[in-house]
Structure 1
Amino acid sequence: MAKTYEELQKEIDEKFEHENEEKYLAILAKTNPTIDELWLLPEERFQEWRSKNDYPRLIQSFNENKPNFLRWKNEFGLTDEELASCRFSEFLRQADFKPTETCLYYMEQTFDGKKRKIVAHADLSKKPAMFPKQGEAYITIKTFLSYEDWCHKHKLKFDLFNITQRQAPEHKMERVWLDTGFELLKMGGSRPPINGFGVLLRGKHLDFVNVCGLELTGTIYSGQEGNLNFSYCAVDNLKCNNLKESPGPFFFNCTLENLSIENSTINSWSFWQCDLQGDIKDSKLQNVRIYGGTFNPYIKETKFTNVTATHQGTRHEYFGQAYILLKKAYYDQGDDDLAGEYYIREKEYEREKSKGWNYFTKSLSYYYWGYGKKPQYVIYFAIATIIICAGLYLTNPSNIHPVKQEKSILDMLYFSTVTFTTLGYGDMSPMGWLRLVALTEAFSGALTIGFLVAGFSRSKY
């Protein structure tokens, strides 16, 4: 019986792992392996090397230069050894899409007889195991707030990823330093390895790494070892040329300056609070998610499909340009509904940033007619105004001429409608203080009809 694609892939990977075990051990013994050697390491081995050789120096640089980092560590009793025992960024990242004080859990996981430390978003020790046959079990060691959430709670700025120095920028051997003097681990200027099936051979979760000049080309699939994820990384000069499939990397709080995507299909990529600048030409972007940050590439001959952007739940100071870009992209490709949606998001973002009278007028424009893109709101306003005014007239029928005539609710709805539409047949007329109500209703009616016509005739953004 012929083996499936998945079985063949697993068999090849297991054989590769067995044949390269001695090579892995040799790399782990080095304090300064080459870029190719670091890419060769499987995820677990890679984290093992970093926990021993890289994370301790990074954490020490924060200890010496970031007083708030020390305060956070001391508040939750976190040690340097614990921070270096698993992916360091998991201790730092915002715990949820909403700016809450969500606890994280530092845990010991047992799986297939092996123990390792992890950071979880839930207390897994209180949940049923998903893989009981593999002996899956969890022990909670500590709970804590992520450093980003802790900074938000104390109204402090996140200060651990500030790039202040570069050497040989835009060259494949570019070097990058943080403001603490720590040089980010260099893993850029190359292509990640793939196997004979085009499957990413060494998927990794990279944090505080310099991958400037990384190249993604051809057909790449994500396999059982995972895809590429980046947190607090310098991913500048990322080049995607003729990339037909992609492993759908997640970029969290990264710099992506001078990005170059050409003749490629970018599928299921996510950017969370990243600084992205560059060029995207002759490509397709589909199922791409943009959360906060700066998203301002030059777009040419590129098709957008289910590309979404939002700043809700993020903590970034500026995001309006992303809405403008998506508004224009969808309008240029003839998708007026989505273009209108991002026009409204652009205006809503501006309203959030405004104050006082400016905030009031923008709020009025939104609720009255959705900044001109939801003229149906005007119809709702007109109907509500007619009904409310009819109710006022009905409570004071003696102030409606002719006085002696009995007036039903239908009569008052009729009178309110002809007043709102400024028809003024003259068979009924207000007296006393109801004249002010009728005057106000007629004025709002005249404005409403004008806004209604303008709303349905607008096509430009």
Structure 2
Amino acid sequence: MKKLIQRCQYRDPLGYICQENANKTGLCYWHDHSLDKSGDEVKQALVDYARSGGLTRGISLKNADLSDIDLVNHHHKVGFDFSYADFYHANLLGAHLFNINFNKASLMKADVKNANLNCANLKQSNLLGVKWQDAKIENIQIGKKLSQEVHAQKALKEKNIKQAIDYFEQAEEVYRDLRKHSEQEGIFTLSGNLIQKELTMRRMQMPQYSIKRITSKVVDLFCGYGEDPLRIVGISMLLILFCAILYTFTGLNYQGTFLAYNPGHPLSENINFFLSCLYYSVVTFTTLGYGDFTPIGISRAIAAIEAFTGSFTIALFVVVFVKKMTR
């Protein structure tokens, strides 16, 4: 009677099933987290397994010595898929990992010094404690959120504030380490995005209604922590428009005549006056002050606030723009 061969029972969250033979635990060698894979033979065995079409999703390679391993899927547009895989404390020193898929994998405390991670997919990967020194990370994809951010938001929904803060702290550390490395590599576009995320994670650790958190949020909205000059332009345009609407109702003085919105006047006349207010708002915001229109009454306070805000905003835009362009 033939002995029944048991297949690996691993099934990942997307339904991928391993077809390898199982051991006593019901899992194959690669998906069994209880097996030690720190031996020298693992490196070549992994290469052979990946190139033979084995399911690399969700495999466990804790503490594995994979230094200088070549996991590039040569002559294929799509790299090897190591989604959900566990590379905790793995040695990936000098590894060739171009275009590899580490989606939702764990690279916690992995050593990727001198590794080639160009074009790698690191979306929602656990990158806490990764050693990045001299790693190539051009065109990597880290997605909108780290795995720690996802866990933190889940903890917030469950009202577990302490755990959420811990996850936000971890996310800040990941962004900071990756940002420092991207700056060393001269990838300033990436580092600019990362510093925004880093400071956002720091803000999320502050008490919800504290002055520091509110101030941090305002700075983020206003200029993206100094990394987004277009936000300043957008805020400026909104402020100019808002002040123009206020001037329309509070009125302006034009050559000794008080002008203001009047529902009894023809629509075209009110529209023309609004356009004049828009013009006045622009010259006030930019502190040009031609003098043809002058504020009167409440409009004086509005004009003073707009002029002060405008001079500050223009200076801020110049600083942020030059910072971005000179990188």
Q: State the TM-score, normalized to the length of structure 1.
A: 0.51
CA positional deviation for 1:279: 2.6
1:301 match? 134
The corresponding residue for 1:241 is: 68
Tell me how far apart the structure 2 counterparts of residues 325 and 279 of structure 1 sit (CA, whole Å): 13
Hey, what's the Cα distance between the residues in 2 that align with 1:440 and 1:267?
A: 52
User: 1:400 — aligned with what?
Assistant: 253
Letter in structure 1 aligned against 2:233:
I
Give 1:213's match in structure 2, choosing from 38, 46, 49: 38
Count of residues in Structure 1 that have an aligned counterpart in Structure 2: 275
What do residues 52-103 of structure 1 show as CA deviations (whole Å, max 9, x unaligned)? xxxxxxxxxxxxxxxxxxxxxxxxxxxxxxxxxx43x76xxxx69xxxxxxx
- Residue 239 of structure 2 corresponds to 385
Letter in 1 for 2:180: K
- Aligned residue identity for 2:297: G
Alignment correspondent of 1:191? none
**Contact 1:204 1:227 (C-alpha < 8 Å) held by counterparts:** no
Describe how 1:255-274 pairs up with structure 2 within 5 A. 256-257=88-89, 259-270=91-102, 272=104, 274=106
Residue 315 (str. 1) matches residue 180 (str. 2): no
Matched residue, 2:56: 228
Q: Which residue of 2 aligns with 1:429?
A: 294
Q: How far has the Cα of 1:204 moved from its partner?
A: 6.6
- Output the CA distance in 1 between the equivalents of 2:223 and 2:110: 36
| Cα offset, 1:358, TM superposition | 2.3
Deviations along 1:195-219, one digit per CA (max 9) or x if unpaired, are xxxxxxxx87614333441532496
Aligned to 1:414: 279
RMSD (Å), alpha carbons: 3.6
Residue 377 of structure 1: how far off its partner (Å): 0.9
Aligned 8 A contact 1:276 1:297 in 2: yes
> Does residue 329 of structure 1 match 2:181?
yes
Report the residue type matching 1:241 in the other structure.
Answer: D
**2:230 aligned partner:** 376
Query: Aligned ranges for residues 27-176 of structure 1 at < 5 Å?
Result: 45-47=6-8, 86-87=9-10
Question: Shift of residue 364 of structure 1?
Answer: 0.7
Q: State the shift of 1:389 in Å.
A: 0.8
Amino acid at match of 2:54: G
Distance 1:348 1:281 in 2: 27
The letter for the 2-side match of 1:455 is: V
Question: Which segments of 5 or more consecutive residues in structure 2 lack a partner in the other structure?
Answer: 18-23, 74-79, 153-166, 261-272
Q: Which has the higher strand share?
A: 1
Instruction: Tell me the equivalent position of 1:455.
Output: 320
Q: Deviations over 1:96-154 (max 9, x none)?
A: 9xxxxxxx9xxxx9xxxxxxxxxxxxxxxxxxxxxxxxxxxxxxxxxxxxxxxxxxxxx
CA distance in 2, matches of 1:435, 1:394: 13
Give the letter aligned to residue 206 of structure 1.
Answer: H
Q: Give yes or no for contact 1:209–1:234 (8 Å, CA) kept in 2.
A: no
Q: Which TM-score applies when normalising by structure 2?
A: 0.70
The equivalent residue for 1:446 is: 311
Relative distance call for 1:308 and 1:230 in structure 2 (3 A) is same
In 1: Cα distance, 2:49 partner to 2:37 partner: 21
Read off the aligned partner of 1:281 and give its amino acid letter: K
- Partner deviation per Cα, 1:220-249 (whole Å, 9 max, x = no partner): 473565232336x56124423242536432
Residues 245 and 411 of structure 1, relative CA distance in 2, 3 Å threshold: closer
Against the structure 1 CA distance between its residues 307 and 296, is the aligned structure 2 distance closer, same or farther, given a 3 Å change threshold?
Answer: farther
User: Which 5+ residue runs of structure 1 have no aligned equivalent?
Assistant: 1-21, 29-43, 48-85, 97-103, 110-183, 188-202
Q: Greater CA radius of gyration, 1 or 2?
A: 1
Is contact 1:293-1:319 (8 Å) kept? Answer: no
AA at the equivalent of 2:116: K
Of residues 169, 174, 192 in structure 2, which corresponds to 1:340?
192
